[in-house]
Amino acid sequence: MSRAAAKTVIVGVTASIAAYKACEIIGRLKKAAFDVHVLMTEEALAFITPLTLETLSQNKVVYDMFELPEKREIIHTSLADKADLVLIAPATANMIGKLAGGICDDILSCVIYATDAPVLIAPAMNEKMYRHPVTRENIAKLEKIGYHFVGPVKGRLACGHEDIGHIAALDDIMRQAQRLLK
């Protein structure tokens, strides 16, 4: 068994049209022998189902912070302790803003605030949202405290524009994740 088999990656999925990209990210992480646990914001449920992500990750997907766990444990702290990396892909302006503002009102933000693991954020949003001064300040604030970012890149956005805001290439996301896991 490789050393990577013991590493745990928490994949956070937020409410972006790019949520479908989480499927391939999870598949690549599993192929590289990582233990993958998926956390979704409740809003992400509008874009992709927990069943899909659970099938790919081979672990229960958590999106309800107050769901009773199967075994008696505090879910957000037990996942936070288990994590070797937290990867948010896609990350919305809303999630970035919540993290920068200290708001922990869902399972994903609570795990991030409770972990000592590196956090890698792959933003995906409309170009105006990405360029908004508050979003830029939030990203700078998170980078200053040690969070890592990959992308976004220029590409076709859900609104039809060809501009910055498209989630980074999956190869780039994987390269950054593997670098942080070493």
- Annotated catalytic sites, by residue? 159
Q: Contact, 21 vs 167, CB < 8 A?
A: yes
Which one, of 177, 139, 169, lies nearest residue 21 by Cα? 169
Q: Contact, 128 vs 161, CB < 8 A?
A: no
Which one, of 81, 82, 13, lies nearest residue 49 by Cα? 13
Distance CA(147)–CA(120), nearest Å, equals 6
Matching residue, tokens 């922990």 = 104
Distance CA(101)–CA(7), nearest Å, equals 29
